[in-house]
Structure 1
Amino acid sequence: MKRIKIFHGILLLSLSMNFSCKKFLQEDPKSFYTPDNYYTSLVQAQNAVNGIYAFTRDFYASIGLYSEDAMFMLEMPTGQARTEINQSNNNANLLNLTMTPTDLYFTQWWRSSYKGIDAANLAIKNIPLMSSAIVPDAQKAQLLGQAQFLRAWFYFNLTRIFGDVPLVTEPTVTADNLLVSRATVKDIYEKEIIPDLLAAEKSGLPFVDNTGRVSTGAVKSLLAKVYETMAGYPLQQADKYALAKQKALEVITSNKYTLYQNYDQFRDPANDNRMENIFMAQFSSAIASSPMFSFTLPSFSYISNGQGEIGALLPDTTFYKSYAPGDKRIQEKQFFYSHYPNFATGANVVFLNGQHIFKYFDDAAQQSGLPSSKCFPIIRLSDIYLLYAEAQNEADGTPGTDAYTYLNAIRTRAGLAPLSGLTHDQFRIAVWRERNHELCFENQTWFDMVRTRMVYDTKNDQFVPMVGYSFPGSGGTRTLQTKHLLFPIPQSEMDVNPKLAPNNPGY
């Protein structure tokens, strides 16, 4: 069994996965085979695609030594997050906007993305070569659709984080093609991301897949997000708003997804890959547990059954106060909480550092003492509702009836009065505000900031240009600069591949 070389000598493994605790991907880990001795059965083809999913977890998993989670990279610089611990230089650099190319998070996002891309490339190249007698054409198409979606998603993240990056669409089997120059963001969207997603859309995937695999609904949703991003910065292709509107509406009007009726349903692991969840990173305490429960527990609060209580991520006070007074999302044990009973004694524990994130509180894990199996939401229907509202307003120049319907659905669930009679600009701001409040701490806010070049001034409840903005209470030392529109390419990658030079401006 031959092993192949991949980016920077890191071996790809087809890792076992667990979707919705159904354990249908719980095969033994296998090395990826070379093209000449792989793909001789349906099981091997399915394993190849299953292995790609494993890398989606890396961006929401614990890394490093000092209470670091890869998802923090997109939360700490927003100005909406803080921490109770000070051991991590990586977290401190993000909070203080003093990032460097040697910071751990950038390496994690870069390498895991390219490992996932390489796994997808291998599947996309070899599955079509299989005999239809071994894998029927319909099954091959669905397997390819999953791989194409995942490859597009990895590249979508890379372009939004690093800008121009290498575009690799062939499996890396020798060291000869490791040194690749950076392609432009425009080329990556037009030559890879859009074609992959359009192909996946026609691949015959089910519209909903409750197991956690890619579905047609997920493909259309990602297309909507891609078009919305292309309409914004840096490409500013305004014609893409109409396409984003169309794809979002196809998801919404399919009636295959439903909004949660309350925020407890958001936290319930039984709803993973169901209802409002369109695409999630999969976790299981038996295989790969989620660290989000422990990382968002107040440090040393003794409210859990022995889990690590780390306090690594909690809301900035001014952000919490930016919610309207009657907003249900800031009521106790909705999106946030300020006290909880001591697990052993039942006595009420009031948290010393104020509000903490309740979105990832796992009742089952808290009671059992086991690690959390809660999956991480990558795309949910609330996002698509708000995306449609924004895209329709921008495409047509004024908010329509449907745009109000979908924006107000999110507001009504939060106990807020419906909006009406807004101008184009007023409606845009209302959607942006709702996205900040509804999708907080789900790795959406930073990407919204970068594509709009605007930041939510939580102290004054207004949106202002991102570049030049100083976060409240920062004394001018935490000011967003032009260089912060992109993160630095990891120094370890620059050292290995000279063709990546120069690094992004300012680094």
Structure 2
Amino acid sequence: MKSTIHHLFFAALLGATTLSITACDDLLEPTPVQQLADDKAITDAGSARSATIGVYDRVQAYYQLNWPVLGFLPGDNVRFNGTLNQFLQIDQNQLSADNVLITEAWTQMYQAVNGANNVLAALPGINDPLLPAAEKNQLLGEAYFLRALVYFDLGRGWGGVPLVLTPTRSKENGAGLRRSTLAQTYDQVLADLTQAESLLPETATRNRAVKAAARALRARLHLYRQQWSEAEAYATQVIGSSNYRLVTPYRAISTAPFLSQESVFELTFSNSDANSMWNNWFPSALGGQFNFQPVPAAITLLNDPATGGSRSALLASTTINGSSVTYGNLYSRSAQRDDPSYVLRLAEQYLIRAEARAKQNKLTDALADLNAVRNRAGVEPSKAATAEALLLAIENERRVEFAFEADRWFDLVRTGRAGTVLGVTDQRRWLFPIPFNDLVADRSLEQNPGY
């Protein structure tokens, strides 16, 4: 039987078509895409640096389109404005195991994991005078951070997943590896973040991992695990750093040259390494496909001075056939194609700490954190006076603040509110399906219930 991990890495070869079981039997022999050939091993300073950049590139691949879509399209801010079934399934919360976006995201994520594993396995043994100890530690820290980010995303998307912690060198690697539990998956994320924080520099780089990025992701991890005091503590470390601040106006977070002081970690693009996300949001009159459209309720919230404030800049409008059409404007650099992918922002750290404090009945401090975000947006302070009212206000604030980022669906799932807010009462649908192709490749891999 072929290993799950073999299939994870060669699945990208399958393209966007759904293969039959018979076809799969003939395609299980290719070398895994991420197998590291002996003549391309990480052996010196140059190859170590290149390999680390390669891991960023693989993370960038799933954050450009697939992951944001899986974060916002199942929620209540955005609808799919087209006919492609893979998007309609996500929009309607009716995913199938052969969904192309699910398969692509899963494959891209495990490609990133394997890239990080290659760096982590090779770097400690490199002795190159051009690679000083400080830089070696930094590269190791970046690999640990990126692997933690991917496994965190895999966990919140699919639940417990196979934990691959060594490089995939051949088809046989990973044979017999089964899914870990969600708790075990998050334990691995924590272990990687702990290592990353100890190795990374205390600098303000925003498109490479540093200590603050590890702390910010750890605050998010503790929030998801309902470890309120730890979430508060790590968010406080990031908020307390002089390297970060909430920027005004709100639009400054997504205005070139990017890397604003609010950004803790983002993935950067350029015209030669393009982010085409704008094309999915812009109407055809502006050269786009208008695949993703803000729903009327989200438009109302963003345009309302009492809720959206300056976040109305996330919307723009144009006239088509004599009618005004509103579209999402977070990704707006259609000519330069260099919009970043937003991963960790300071505003989230304030709202993480607000939620964690509210859960600990620190209501005054929680309200202050919530209002820091509202104040930056030019919105009147909240007057929520109870823990229940505060938590709802924080939930609503996150909906507006991260309207078109990979946030809303995962928020409603982690808080158990996806049934109440979205009507997705079948909790089996709160997790994504394991891709069909991987189930075919390894019969020991268990599907999530309900698929």
1:88-130 residue CA offsets vs partner (Å, 9 max, x unmatched): 1011111222210000111111111111101111111110112
RMSD, aligned CA: 2.6
Given residue 224 of structure 1, which amino acid in structure 2 is its aligned partner? Answer: A
Given residue 74 of structure 2, which amino acid in structure 1 is its aligned partner? Answer: P
Given residue 165 of structure 2, which amino acid in structure 1 is its aligned partner? Answer: T
Written as runs of structure 1 = structure 2, the 5 A alignment for 1:304-319 is 304=286, 308-319=287-298
2:262 to 268, 276, 283: 276
Instruction: Output the CA distance in 2 between the equivalents of 1:351 and 1:187.
Output: 56
Match of 1:24 in 2: none
Residues 244 and 132 of structure 1: is their aligned pair in 2 closer, same or farther, counting only changes over 3 Å?
farther
Given residue 373 of structure 1, which amino acid in structure 2 is its aligned partner? Answer: D
Q: Is the 8 Å Cα contact of residues 36 and 169 (structure 2) preserved in structure 1?
A: no
SS in 2 for 1:157: helix
Written as runs of structure 1 = structure 2, the 5 A alignment for 1:259-270 is 259-270=246-257
Q: Is the 8 Å Cα contact of residues 328 and 334 (structure 1) preserved in structure 2?
A: no
2:282 to 276, 284, 297: 297
- State the 1:441 CA deviation: 1.1
Match of 1:412 in 2: 375
- State the 1:254 CA deviation: 0.8
Match of 2:105 in 1: 109
**Bigger shift: residues 412-421 or 116-125:** 412-421
1:337 is the counterpart of 2:283 = no
Instruction: Output the CA distance in 2 between the equivalents of 1:356 and 1:384.
Output: 28
Given residue 408 of structure 2, which amino acid in structure 1 is its aligned partner? Answer: T
1:120-154 residue CA offsets vs partner (Å, 9 max, x unmatched): 11111110112264532222111100000000111
Match of 2:437 in 1: 492
1:357 to 328, 334, 344: 328
Residues 134 and 414 of structure 1: is their aligned pair in 2 closer, same or farther, counting only changes over 3 Å?
closer
Match of 1:237 in 2: none
- State the 1:400 CA deviation: 3.3
Listed as ranges, the gaps of 5+ residues in structure 2 are 13-32
1:465 is the counterpart of 2:407 = no
Instruction: Output the CA distance in 1 between the equivalents of 2:216 and 2:243.
Output: 13
Give 1 or 2: higher helix fraction: 2
SS in 2 for 1:290: coil
Residues 8 and 245 of structure 1: is their aligned pair in 2 closer, same or farther, counting only changes over 3 Å?
closer
Q: Is the 8 Å Cα contact of residues 271 and 337 (structure 2) preserved in structure 1?
A: yes
Given residue 170 of structure 2, which amino acid in structure 1 is its aligned partner? Answer: T
1:166 to 162, 170, 181: 162
Instruction: Output the CA distance in 2 between the equivalents of 1:151 and 1:158.
Output: 10
Q: Is the 8 Å Cα contact of residues 271 and 338 (structure 2) preserved in structure 1?
A: yes
Instruction: Output the CA distance in 2 between the equivalents of 1:159 and 1:141.
Output: 27
Match of 2:57 in 1: 54
Given residue 188 of structure 1, which amino acid in structure 2 is its aligned partner? Answer: T
**Bigger shift: residues 69-78 or 410-419:** 69-78
Instruction: Output the CA distance in 1 between the equivalents of 2:157 and 2:260.
Output: 29
1:317-349 residue CA offsets vs partner (Å, 9 max, x unmatched): 12333458324736796121233xxxxxxxx65
1:384 is the counterpart of 2:349 = yes
SS in 2 for 1:334: helix
Residues 451 and 336 of structure 1: is their aligned pair in 2 closer, same or farther, counting only changes over 3 Å?
same
Q: Is the 8 Å Cα contact of residues 250 and 311 (structure 2) preserved in structure 1?
A: no
1:441 to 396, 404, 407: 404
- State the 1:282 CA deviation: 2.1
Residues 294 and 327 of structure 1: is their aligned pair in 2 closer, same or farther, counting only changes over 3 Å?
farther
Instruction: Output the CA distance in 2 between the equivalents of 1:81 and 1:70.
Output: 14
SS in 1 for 2:172: helix
SS in 2 for 1:419: coil
Residues 194 and 416 of structure 1: is their aligned pair in 2 closer, same or farther, counting only changes over 3 Å?
same
Residues 157 and 219 of structure 1: is their aligned pair in 2 closer, same or farther, counting only changes over 3 Å?
same
Listed as ranges, the gaps of 5+ residues in structure 1 are 13-29, 63-68, 232-239, 340-347, 456-463, 471-478
Residues 85 and 37 of structure 1: is their aligned pair in 2 closer, same or farther, counting only changes over 3 Å?
closer
Instruction: Output the CA distance in 2 between the equivalents of 1:38 and 1:408.
Output: 51
- State the 1:294 CA deviation: 1.6
Written as runs of structure 1 = structure 2, the 5 A alignment for 1:58-77 is 58-61=61-64, 71-77=68-74
Given residue 327 of structure 2, which amino acid in structure 1 is its aligned partner? Answer: H
1:280-328 residue CA offsets vs partner (Å, 9 max, x unmatched): 1221111x21112221112x22xx4xxx321111111123334583247
- State the 1:60 CA deviation: 3.5
- State the 1:480 CA deviation: 4.1
1:431 is the counterpart of 2:376 = no
SS in 2 for 1:226: helix
Match of 2:337 in 1: 372
State the identity %: 25
Match of 1:342 in 2: none
Q: Is the 8 Å Cα contact of residues 221 and 247 (structure 1) preserved in structure 2?
A: yes
Given residue 315 of structure 2, which amino acid in structure 1 is its aligned partner? Answer: F
Given residue 114 of structure 1, which amino acid in structure 2 is its aligned partner? Answer: Y
Give the paired residue count: 427
1:221 is the counterpart of 2:219 = no
Residues 168 and 351 of structure 1: is their aligned pair in 2 closer, same or farther, counting only changes over 3 Å?
farther
Q: Is the 8 Å Cα contact of residues 45 and 128 (structure 2) preserved in structure 1?
A: no
1:188-208 residue CA offsets vs partner (Å, 9 max, x unmatched): 222x21111011111142331
1:357-391 residue CA offsets vs partner (Å, 9 max, x unmatched): 122222xx4xxxx3511111111111111111111
Residues 331 and 310 of structure 1: is their aligned pair in 2 closer, same or farther, counting only changes over 3 Å?
farther
Q: Is the 8 Å Cα contact of residues 320 and 330 (structure 1) preserved in structure 2?
A: no
Given residue 230 of structure 2, which amino acid in structure 1 is its aligned partner? Answer: L
2:135 to 133, 139, 142: 139
Q: Is the 8 Å Cα contact of residues 244 and 391 (structure 1) preserved in structure 2?
A: yes
SS in 2 for 1:355: strand
**Bigger shift: residues 438-447 or 175-184:** 175-184
- State the 1:32 CA deviation: 6.8
